[in-house]
Chains A and B, each alone.
Chain A
Amino acid sequence: MIRVSNLTKRYVGRTAVDAISFNVEPGEIVGFLGPNGAGKTTTIRILTGYMPATSGTATVAGHDILRDSLKARRKIGYMPENVPLYEDMRVKEYLRFRALLKGMRGREARNGIAEAIDLCGLTEMRGKMISALSKGYRQRVGLADALIHNPELLILDEPTNGLDPNQIRRVRKLIKQLGLSHTILISTHILSEVEMICDRVIILDRGQVRAADTPENLINRLRTVGHISVEIKTPAVMAADKIKKLPGVKKVMKEIADGEWTRFTVRAESGTDVRESVVALAVANKWSLREIHTHGASLEDVFVELTQSPHTG
């Protein structure tokens, strides 16, 4: 559905998107994940034809977004960040305007509007002025606009931004429901959201794709990024030094548990399991060990691991 290859966007003195390539297959819900300023919105704006790329190509449903822009745009339902809307229109008027603009006429337009209003739960609000709507309803109007012409591809830029928890849940549910019949690309920086609704995640950082995989695979791949905690009865400083010298150990933190017990949190390098060597070390030094526990990685760990810059890390 989306084919992006070597897409680059340079602004004066800054490269926002740096030769990224990725594909989105029909029927997928793909999460576009990255810290603020990673280049998500820029990539989306290029895909929707709002601005051209400096170099590289992108096609949407087989249409080049630059050369065949109008045809490509017809296939896309796009909801920009912060959902810009005309304040002086009523919900139904606005949706009617958008339907006509997207080339729908007569019965087709009427049905499209009715369906979108129904799907987004706007029935009671359709006669209201847009300026009088709450943030949650504005978001829904934006979503209704995006899907009014039943596009093959929905691109949603931070659809749950600024909503309260209940509204977020409703919007997520709606997106999942839409995912049954549409290909969806959603950008977000909320991790749990991606874990909940996306089939696949593309992690973007400083203009580059750091990873593109299913949430489960990403977590599996980096499972050992997770940390273990051990409680040992021993003078803390000496033990911490010894644990740190074990092969594969990256970082050791210690805290007093109770009495003479100290809790060590050990972070290991990817792909190594240090539990065994920690136990062996305890035995060799005749420390009493009362608990050892491994914490599985979450998508959050993956995200932090992939997007932490060397300066802030």
Chain B
Amino acid sequence: MPFTITIGLLLSIIALSLWKFLSGGTGMVLLVKELRSFFFSPVAWVVLTLVMLLNGFSFTAALADLREGERSVTLTAYTFNSIQFWLAYFFIFPVITMRLFAEEQKLGTIETLLTAPVTTIQLLLAKYLAALSFYIILWLPSLLNFLLFQMNSTDNSASIGSLTGSYIIILLVGMFNIAIGCLASALTKNQLVAAMICFTFCLLHFLVGFILQNLPVSDVFRELVTYFSTQVHVRAFIDGLIDTRQLIYYMSFAILLLSITHHVLEFRKWKV
């Protein structure tokens, strides 16, 4: 019950801010402009190609392995619990978020933006949603792999639960890590610095579950920290377990990080 309430609360916060964002159309104008700058730069296409390639490799590898004989994991689990997936995971976020605010600050265009009738919230949400939309577009081709396979297979090898779970967790970690990237980008004028900050925090978050493995710490502490481990979350979701705790965890952290970003952007206005 408390979960239902919390999720309801989170969703209503999201709905409210989206409504505020879209009202008047200014948010939409900014969003379209951001998406446009994604697709008019070569970076987007390079990332898209790389992610498609990596997904293709792991999908092919998974198919080959499943052909060998009986396996206890599903095709989706095979595909997403692979080195290729985590490789993509680490370079996607810094690359798609580093530009967002750092570039505006470097060019000085943040001044023309914020002296137009635009609120900081609208600007922030436009950038965040643009990055998130691009992120979603990155994963669409991989979904095509599964759909095509499903259409041609006789049995239910790509189980629906596993597939849904996988894409939900991909969306959740995306929401979370893109919010980290937004914050990193708002903190600096230098895109490289923004990328490094984002990468470091994504990595730290990922490693939380790992680094303690061989250290002499109490089991309680180990378990507590493992709670935050992205890898553990991803494993659970790709096995088809859609855990509301993680829904709340990722969404609320995304909102928290975005509100910090908002403060950082506002703070910029207060200093030299």
Contacts and interface: CB of A to CB of B under 8 A. Distances in A.
Interface residues of A, number: 29
Interface string A54-97: 00000000000000001101101010101011111000000001
Contacts of A97: 29, 33
Given A50-B111, A82-B108, A84-B112, A101 B118 contact: yes
B40 A84 contact: no
Nearest to A102: B116
Interface string B29-41: 1100100010011
A296 interface: no
Nearest to B26: A101
A11 B119 CA distance: 24
A98 B111 contact: no
B112 A78 contact: yes
Nearest to A84: B108
A188 to B, nearest CB: 19
Given A11-B272, A84-B109, A86-B109, A48 B29 contact: no
B24 interface: yes
A84 B117 contact: no
Given A73-B117, A86-B107, A100 B29 contact: yes
A136 interface: no
A52 interface: yes
Nearest to A145: B112
Contacts of B29: 97, 100-101
Interface string B110-148: 011111111100000000000000000000000000000
Contacts of A80: 108, 111-112, 115
Contacts, number: 66
Interface in A167-197: none
A97 B271 CA distance: 28
A246 interface: no
Nearest to A99: B29
A74 B108 contact: no
A87 B107 contact: yes
B269 interface: yes
B269 A52 contact: yes
B221 interface: no
A88 B108 CA distance: 14
B117 A102 contact: yes
A300 B29 CA distance: 46
Contacts of A82: 108
B115 A103 contact: no
Interface string A36-58: 00000000010011111000000
Interface of B: 24-26, 29-30, 33, 37, 40-41, 107-109, 111-119, 269-272
24 contacts: A11-B271, A11-B272, A49-B114, A51-B269, A52-B269, A52-B270, A70-B117, A70-B119, A73-B117, A76-B115, A78-B115, A80-B112, A80-B115, A82-B108, A86-B109, A87-B107, A88-B40, A97-B33, A102-B116, A103-B24, A103-B25, A103-B117, A105-B25, A145-B112
